[in-house]
Structure 1
Amino acid sequence: MIRGLSFTDVVAFVTFLICWPGYHLAAGYVDTRRSSLMSLVKAFRHRWFERMAERESHIADATLLGNLLRGALFFASTTVFILGGLVALLGTAPKVAELIGQLPFGSVSDPKLAELKAIALILVFVYAFFKSTWSAWQYNVLSILVGAMPGRGIDDAARVEYAEAAGRVAALAGESYNNGVRAYYFSIPLMAWFANALAFLAVTLVVTIVLYRREFYSPIMEALKSIRG
């Protein structure tokens, strides 16, 4: 047992482990029973490539794909810088924890516990890096599919197959990107853990609620649901 690890720390950390992967599973289950922001966007991705198969020129589509790819690469490169900072933090985690402990509502952590907190943050951002880079690679594959799509009137059946495959790849790329962004959200509770365990627990629950509301009750979801055709 790490010295300084209280019962509240254990409860907060277990809650975090339940909320992060548990939210992913719960959101996927709820998504099969009712509309969510992710399911609506997924449907629009498929609709995009169905419409693209009807067009001869794909210049606008290539531009949109480039924007999506840049977004994934931005998170991937940003995550690299964050990981570099966290690795540097690992050596000075006890000093950082001591400084945070002097703030209002802060508590001084044992050096080993402070290092554990830094390692937990590193693992979260390693996960975010893998998801972001995988999303970028999938968008690259998507660009190849668009470029290889047969011309209109040459092979319409193959054109439809390309559009269906592109829609599935786009959905997978978007899901990977979303999982990477979720990792960023769930890194916030770990940062709050440097202050105290109660803040860690509270922020974990707040982040989970915020994500749930955004994916299932946000105004943008209602706006997408109102679109027909």
Structure 2
Amino acid sequence: MQIFTLLPWADWLAVLWFFSGWIGYAWFARHYGVTRSSLLSTTNRYRHYWLLQATSRDPRVIDGVITQNLSSTPAFFSSTTIIIIGGLIALLGTTDKAAELVREIPFAVRTSVLIFDLKVLLMVGVFVYAFFRFSWSMRQYTFVALLIGSLPSPQEFEAGKFDREVFATRASRMVGLAAETFNDGLRAYYLSFALMAWFFSTIAFVLATAVVVLILYNREFNSDVLGVLRE
């Protein structure tokens, strides 16, 4: 309860702004991407092309290699996130020195050690969320490998025993879900930089949150990569 009295109302509003921007943008990107081409929806189309071609390949070694390469990125971020969480927890044991170091920065707002601990704990929470999303993305890619391994032979598809489109749609949707889950974790990484600005000032925290959300929007809906993929 002491935290509620020590933390100014402006900081609580900044925290509310941070989570509103995070959750609000995630909702916006998911629903706005249905009506307008986004990076995720556009790449989902290529995922469907890939799995549709996989139905006519035998053996499907290349598809297994692609799946393994795709799963290596969330695996790397998962292990990296654990290291970051460990470093932040270790920082909690030396918050006196860390808070003193921040106070020496000319434009940084001076806060108590208790408030500094709160900011570090919020950072820990952000990276814990990122770890769960990255690890779940890894798990989903194992399901993708399972779906690819269960694809019938090209001869069975040609004979009409199975529908290529059905199998390709199911597998591509699973790859898309894994990619979307990975995006959630990566979005947490982006927003952690906005949270870092809170160690300096509340205004910097608010502005950094808005800038990060704008960057996420531009990369998802207005990037050069999206323009190339839509051509």
For 1:130, the equivalent position in structure 2 comes to 132
**Alignment gaps of 5+ in structure 2:** none
For 2:102, the equivalent position in structure 1 comes to 100
TM-score (norm 1): 0.93
For 2:120, the equivalent position in structure 1 comes to 118
For 1:30, the equivalent position in structure 2 comes to 32
Deviation at 1:45, TM superposition (A): 1.1
Separation (CA, whole Å) in 1 of partners of 2:209 and 2:162:
49
Matched-pair contact (CA < 8 Å) for 2:52–2:164: no
Deviation at 1:28, TM superposition (A): 1.5
- Residue of structure 1 aligned with 2:206, choices 196, 201, 207: 201
For 2:9, the equivalent position in structure 1 comes to 7
Separation (CA, whole Å) in 2 of partners of 1:210 and 1:97:
29
For 1:91, the equivalent position in structure 2 comes to 93
Aligned-residue CA RMSD in angstroms? Answer: 1.5
- Residue of structure 1 aligned with 2:53, choices 43, 51, 54: 51
Separation (CA, whole Å) in 2 of partners of 1:103 and 1:128:
29
Q: 1:133-186 deviations in whole A, cap 9, x for unaligned?
A: 000011011111111211112255155433222111101100111101001001
For 1:157, the equivalent position in structure 2 comes to 162
Aligned amino acid, residue 203 of structure 2 = L
Query: What stretches of structure 1 move > 6 A for 4+ residues in a row?
Result: none
Matched-pair contact (CA < 8 Å) for 1:49–1:166: yes
Separation (CA, whole Å) in 1 of partners of 2:127 and 2:86:
10
Quick check: 1:61 aligned with 2:63? yes
Matched-pair contact (CA < 8 Å) for 1:87–1:122: yes
Aligned amino acid, residue 124 of structure 2 = I
- Residue of structure 2 aligned with 1:39, choices 41, 60, 68: 41
Matched-pair contact (CA < 8 Å) for 1:149–1:162: yes
Deviation at 1:194, TM superposition (A): 1.1
Separation (CA, whole Å) in 1 of partners of 2:176 and 2:46:
10
TM-score (norm 2): 0.93
Aligned amino acid, residue 109 of structure 2 = S
Matched-pair contact (CA < 8 Å) for 2:156–2:162: no
For 1:218, the equivalent position in structure 2 comes to 223
Aligned amino acid, residue 132 of structure 1 = F
Separation (CA, whole Å) in 2 of partners of 1:101 and 1:8:
19
| Secondary structure in 2 matching 1:154 | helix
Aligned amino acid, residue 71 of structure 2 = L
Separation (CA, whole Å) in 2 of partners of 1:142 and 1:195:
43
Q: How many residues align?
A: 226
| Secondary structure in 1 matching 2:154 | coil
Separation (CA, whole Å) in 1 of partners of 2:219 and 2:92:
33
Matched-pair contact (CA < 8 Å) for 2:102–2:200: yes
- Residue of structure 2 aligned with 1:139, choices 138, 141, 144: 141
Separation (CA, whole Å) in 2 of partners of 1:66 and 1:194:
39
Aligned amino acid, residue 216 of structure 1 = F
Aligned amino acid, residue 218 of structure 2 = R
For 2:178, the equivalent position in structure 1 comes to 173
Deviation at 1:104, TM superposition (A): 2.3
Matched-pair contact (CA < 8 Å) for 1:150–1:158: no
